[in-house]
Amino acid sequence: MRNLIIALAVAVGLASSARAQSKEPAAQVEALVHQMQSGKSDGVFMQFFAGSLLAKQKPTEIRAMDGQAKAALEFYGKPVAYELLDAQKIGASLVRMKWITKHKDDSPLFWNALFYRRQGKWEPLNVVFFDDPTKALL
């Protein structure tokens, strides 16, 4: 029985990461923000990048991003709102997304992500976030 429950949990996790990657980039950003809004910051990027090329090639970088995100969310608090700022199509296979998350006292974090269309699915290539508004214009 325990093995069945574990197998079901793994299957559900794999299915949800596959569904996330089949979504358009804006929907993936929304899912990422909603997960952070839920207060579950542990492993947020491991889940976001699950099944992606980056997850296969650079899992250490993703774990580092998780640590940085957790520290930022502990400092600023979980997002209370977000705003999609830009979706820039760069060819047929690359999209850059920019958004802000708004935290306690309206403190913003600025986010940039690249999504790559591989094997018919959009998957995240990288995510960068920062609290310096001068970098938001780059």
54-79 per-position pLDDT tens digit: 999 999 999 999 999 999 999 999 99
pLDDT score of 19 more than 90 = no
List, in sequence order, every beta strand (DSSP E) within the chain.
81-89, 94-102, 108-118, 121-130
Supply the pLDDT for residue 91: 94
Q: 92: domain CATH number?
A: 3.10.450.50
pLDDT score of 8 more than 60 = no
Count of structural domains within the chain: 1
**Up-side HSE of residue 128: CA atoms within 13 Å toward CB?**
8
Query: Average pLDDT for residues 48-52, to the nearest whole number?
Result: 94
Domain that includes residue 40, residue range: 2-137
Considering the chain, what is the average pLDDT of its residues? 84
Please name which of 18, 117, 112, 126 lies closest in space to residue 62, comparing C-alpha atoms.
126
The whole-model pTM stands at 0.79
